[in-house]
Structure 1
């Protein structure tokens, strides 16, 4: 709090109180108005996002609902025809009856342009709604793959005159027939163009099977897609919003614009042909499908390009997506909804709405907020100036009086002419002046007493400080002696183990040397005889060789033990860095403690790559491993009474040496783990434990090796120590 007051005083200390009051008053008003304006705009923006998402969801839902109903109709018509066939109401061998029945169906369903049936003989019967809303019945001759005949109809659906005869037609070769037969269930055809009608269409096909499951033909009902265009145009989606439906190939199926979903190329010659996708008779010409990315409507074109850039391929859009993109520096809200069914339909419904359609009212409110904010700021400034004058005038009087009193004019009085807070302040000021006069009279006497007390206090503080320093030095000396004692005890264990270990190979070598001496004397006696038995001489020489080999092998072992002891002892007593082999150092420690572990069932496994040579303090590593292994022996395996394993792993980890030590002993409680590195903490206080082993390990790792050590354990699960420290550079 004091630092804040100092900071405030440093900034505003040289500013007059009148100016400060006005500025702070204006800042508060400006801040409040600014925050309100920002929150208003932010909430308005959020409301726009929510409204856009809600509008897109509602429009997409309406489109899906309408298309589900509209696109289900041709399949229902096919199913009703199949039911009539199975009930015997329609005879598949009677094309006249079929054509008349299909004609009546066209009168009921205005959105259906064509209904037809193709049989297994290649025959076809068609009832068609023409572009001028007249109707024709068309069939192949003899209801087989033959000439294609087109008839007019009267008002009752009866055949009239023969309009024309087209080239032979075989329904079995048409894609709608082949696909339905291959799938063996109701399917959709691909969207195709009808040049004569200048429209796109899609056909629903259903295979017909007899009682013996033999194929009898395919029923097909054809829809024109212009009805979908009309429905999309009726949807209200803002002034600049656009809706369009596309296939996964990017071709437009329908849109809410007046743009045609295809490009028309006029025919070169006036002749007719039959559409490959349907049975439609069209003038020879080309209707090229329009891709959304090539649309003349900018919003549709850039929306399609953005979808391709975002998803790579339209096939990658598997669920409903909502996001925002920019077009001409304006945000556009975009929603893409897949429309799929089990009959092969796979379209995308795209709803794109410019943000500007929603932002006009918010921008107007923002402008009004700014104008009101500026007006409020001007009024607040004027009111602040007038208020500051009324407040500051009596404060100036108090300031002048305080300055006079500070110069020793104790008879200064301030006239009280107000009853508000400033009047109370003036009365308090006058009372304070009287109290100051009384206080200064006693202040000098008290000052002398305080000086005496300060002198006594300083003497006692210096005395106590000297005593504390002596205690600290004594504690530090005791700590160093304990640490040195622990190191010497460790070295003593090392010497005892070495003496016991080296006794065996030297004893064996002495015995072998004695045998060698006796054998030598036997050989001398043999040579003193007049006749030397060759077998006895050879036997004696072989005994010499065996005794010499036994002596040499045990002396070499003794040399290795001496070398290991020398390295370990020198390293633990020296603090000089040198190059050392990590695996050799670990094995030296293991050798030095071999006497402790050899009569137990504890197995020790060392996992360290050969040739891992580092520059550093091997003595610290020796001491750490010695303490860890003795800790496992005493605590983990209860003085070697338990069976188990000790695992020592060492490897490089970047520019650090990583060492992991673990055993399968009886483990520790969580409370023991938390205190394991504390000095003088031991669970064997009455059995000779000093509580410094793990503390020494912690100090060696953190202080001498500048690394980290951690411990993990649980009762019955052993213990794991992880050590990591940086490698020195020679």
Structure 2
């Protein structure tokens, strides 16, 4: 389609198009690279969040067991007497204030006596008692600044610590254990208890140490995390029950749920969608062994999430989930895309300006040449049209000077032909009463018209033909006669000009374009000819059929003369035949290569040795010389 455009449009397009293409490709590559970086950053952020949560959770969960181990060691060394209730209460009261996040410290013996310290709803530190002295009622006391009990702030009747899950779970094991996660009666927060059995040197149970830990502090920690702009983090157990979350709304929903909140059934659609995605992929949460990175589209938004397994040495088994929405990072991509579009537009405008400027500078001489050509065509050429170009010192200036010379020469020739035609027409008008003279004049008028038609197409045809080896010794008049009897032929790309085994009755000279010569039977290329070259002379001058095929490989114009018209020229100028025979003989190498083939066609006698004489004889016979 671009071939149909004017060059004044094609050139700017060709100059601007590469810039547009490069800018477009760079923009696409940059955008894709940025999106890939978003993916990498999202995964890295999820890794950072889960690792941070894991470290904090591990530190937080290590505190209860550290307290139990310290207390067990104190009892073992005798610095803490579990039978001294007053001393035990004071010890726990001071100790609980040293560890953040711990809500209760306590000790219970096999007789059902319970002593400990607790964080009251008011935030103050209190002490707790149960057993015979309280008639099996768990009593919580406010305390003075020295840790002395004052008023009772809470009562829990029928409390027997020996029946509690943490007490029962600790008895069979000498190691620290975790209780199941449960909902704290007072705060309604999820909690867990670290328990440690205490035995005497004989292996008899002295009692059980316990530390209660609320997950409320983990919730507060998760809410302090920066996960993009709208990212979330949560902790669940292997059944999918929510333990902690950075989203206060989800925490409130979990508090309202009496049996615990399964995230797959959460009212928060995002968390429920992630849970369902995991269940669809794995079947159950228990299948997560280490770390899973995944992504999915939710409400036409892409989200990345990571699920990481958390296990400690005491058997606690949880999952940490980090959720990172892609849109939190796409804002930067969109900003960069807008900047890229602006830069692309600026580059496009600059390229367009440069393209138009360069094309105008390049095309100006072409338009001047075009104007001069139109003047030549209308026979009104003025050398001043190209004066500004002829003064240039570059290739354009040299071309302009040659163009002016050619235009002047062509104009002179056209004027000469016009004068001859006018003279002939005048003689024709004056010879109406003489039929013989009229016929002769019309014959010459026809020849002059043929010459003019050839000149109009290719004004330098005589000079071009004079370069052909077989025509080098022809005079101007002989060349003129040759041109009069020839034809101009045009061929498109892929057109066959002549084919092997066809009669060789034409001789061609290439005016424009190029031609490939090859042996068609074996598809063997011989040579490629361009402007000024000729072919087909052997078949024309020696007779017989073509020995090769010629095909146009671009738009090609040929000067053709057939055997009949060539014979007319030879009859009019007999000395020309001798000269051509001599020129053919100079190409003895080529003739020798084809000698056997020519002999097979009956064009040469194999038993004769004088090749020149054979050529002369063949031409005399062929052209009746």
TM-score over 0.5 (shorter chain): yes
1:191 to 181, 197, 206: 181
- Distance change (3 Å), C-alpha of 1:70 and 1:459: same
- Distance change (3 Å), C-alpha of 1:428 and 1:307: farther
Secondary structure, counterpart of 1:289 in structure 2: coil
1:148 to 137, 140, 164: 137
2:259 to 288, 310, 314: 288
1:365 is aligned to 336
Deviation at 1:306?
Answer: 2.0
Deviation at 1:262?
Answer: 5.9
1:333 to 295, 301, 304: 304
d(CA) in 2 for partners of 1:140, 1:198? 22
1:443-454 equivalent positions in 2, closer than 5 A = 443-445=468-470, 449=584
Counterpart contact for 2:242–2:254, Cα < 8 Å: no
Counterpart contact for 2:222–2:245, Cα < 8 Å: yes
Measured against aligned partners, the alpha-carbon deviations of 1:19-51 in whole angstroms (never above 9, x if no partner) come to 221222231121122122212222322332232
Secondary structure, counterpart of 2:136 in structure 1: strand
1:444-483 equivalent positions in 2, closer than 5 A = 444-445=469-470, 449=584, 456-460=592-596
Deviation at 1:289?
Answer: 1.5
| 2:69 is aligned with 1:69 | no
d(CA) in 2 for partners of 1:254, 1:220? 22
1:351 to 322, 336, 345: 322
Measured against aligned partners, the alpha-carbon deviations of 1:255-302 in whole angstroms (never above 9, x if no partner) come to 112225365899xxxxxxxxxxxxxxxxxxx84322222334333232
- Distance change (3 Å), C-alpha of 1:218 and 1:421: farther
d(CA) in 1 for partners of 2:198, 2:391? 111
2:529 is aligned to none
Bigger shift: residues 126-135 or 31-40: 126-135
Deviation at 1:382?
Answer: 4.4
2:392 is aligned to 418
- Distance change (3 Å), C-alpha of 1:419 and 1:213: farther
Measured against aligned partners, the alpha-carbon deviations of 1:187-231 in whole angstroms (never above 9, x if no partner) come to 222221123213221111122232233333321111111111111
d(CA) in 2 for partners of 1:116, 1:340? 26
Deviation at 1:398?
Answer: 5.6
2:504 is aligned to none
| 2:217 is aligned with 1:227 | yes
1:298 to 269, 272, 275: 269
d(CA) in 1 for partners of 2:155, 2:361? 108
Secondary structure, counterpart of 1:344 in structure 2: coil
| 2:26 is aligned with 1:36 | yes
1:259 to 220, 229, 249: 249
d(CA) in 2 for partners of 1:87, 1:130? 31
d(CA) in 2 for partners of 1:46, 1:392? 46
- Distance change (3 Å), C-alpha of 1:166 and 1:33: closer
1:598 is aligned to none
Counterpart contact for 2:97–2:125, Cα < 8 Å: no
Counterpart contact for 2:234–2:242, Cα < 8 Å: yes
| 2:222 is aligned with 1:218 | no
Secondary structure, counterpart of 2:351 in structure 1: helix
Secondary structure, counterpart of 2:198 in structure 1: strand
Deviation at 1:313?
Answer: 0.8
2:74 is aligned to 84
1:314-333 equivalent positions in 2, closer than 5 A = 314-333=285-304
d(CA) in 1 for partners of 2:317, 2:401? 89
| 2:455 is aligned with 1:440 | no
2:197 is aligned to 207
Deviation at 1:166?
Answer: 4.4
Counterpart contact for 1:262–1:290, Cα < 8 Å: no
The CA RMSD over aligned residues, in Å, is: 3.7
d(CA) in 1 for partners of 2:347, 2:225? 44
1:59 is aligned to 49
Secondary structure, counterpart of 2:249 in structure 1: coil
d(CA) in 2 for partners of 1:13, 1:134? 91
- Distance change (3 Å), C-alpha of 1:438 and 1:172: same
Measured against aligned partners, the alpha-carbon deviations of 1:355-391 in whole angstroms (never above 9, x if no partner) come to 1111213212312322442344344334433432331
- Distance change (3 Å), C-alpha of 1:249 and 1:420: farther
Counterpart contact for 2:199–2:206, Cα < 8 Å: yes
- Distance change (3 Å), C-alpha of 1:362 and 1:432: farther
| 2:117 is aligned with 1:110 | no
1:308 is aligned to 279
- Distance change (3 Å), C-alpha of 1:398 and 1:293: same
Measured against aligned partners, the alpha-carbon deviations of 1:401-457 in whole angstroms (never above 9, x if no partner) come to 899999xxxxx9987332344335556889999999766324142765388765543
- Distance change (3 Å), C-alpha of 1:375 and 1:231: same
1:727 is aligned to none
Counterpart contact for 1:22–1:384, Cα < 8 Å: yes
1:577 is aligned to none
d(CA) in 2 for partners of 1:220, 1:107? 16
- Distance change (3 Å), C-alpha of 1:248 and 1:461: farther
d(CA) in 1 for partners of 2:588, 2:374? 33
d(CA) in 2 for partners of 1:405, 1:443? 28
Counterpart contact for 1:242–1:299, Cα < 8 Å: no
d(CA) in 1 for partners of 2:261, 2:402? 90
Counterpart contact for 1:130–1:197, Cα < 8 Å: no
Deviation at 1:72?
Answer: 0.9
- Distance change (3 Å), C-alpha of 1:460 and 1:125: farther
- The unaligned stretches of length 5 or more in structure 1 are 1-10, 267-285, 407-411, 465-730
- Distance change (3 Å), C-alpha of 1:121 and 1:437: farther
1:99 is aligned to 89
Secondary structure, counterpart of 1:190 in structure 2: coil
1:172 to 162, 175, 178: 162
Secondary structure, counterpart of 1:65 in structure 2: helix
| 2:381 is aligned with 1:391 | no
Counterpart contact for 1:138–1:148, Cα < 8 Å: no
d(CA) in 2 for partners of 1:84, 1:242? 42
d(CA) in 2 for partners of 1:188, 1:252? 18
Counterpart contact for 1:95–1:143, Cα < 8 Å: no
d(CA) in 2 for partners of 1:461, 1:180? 114
Secondary structure, counterpart of 1:182 in structure 2: coil
Secondary structure, counterpart of 2:116 in structure 1: strand
Measured against aligned partners, the alpha-carbon deviations of 1:570-614 in whole angstroms (never above 9, x if no partner) come to xxxxxxxxxxxxxxxxxxxxxxxxxxxxxxxxxxxxxxxxxxxxx
Q: TM-score if structure 1 supplies the norm length?
A: 0.53
Secondary structure, counterpart of 2:324 in structure 1: strand
1:508 is aligned to none
Greater RCO structure (CA 8 Å; 6+ sep): 2
Secondary structure, counterpart of 2:141 in structure 1: strand
Deviation at 1:168?
Answer: 3.6
Deviation at 1:78?
Answer: 0.5
d(CA) in 2 for partners of 1:264, 1:375? 55
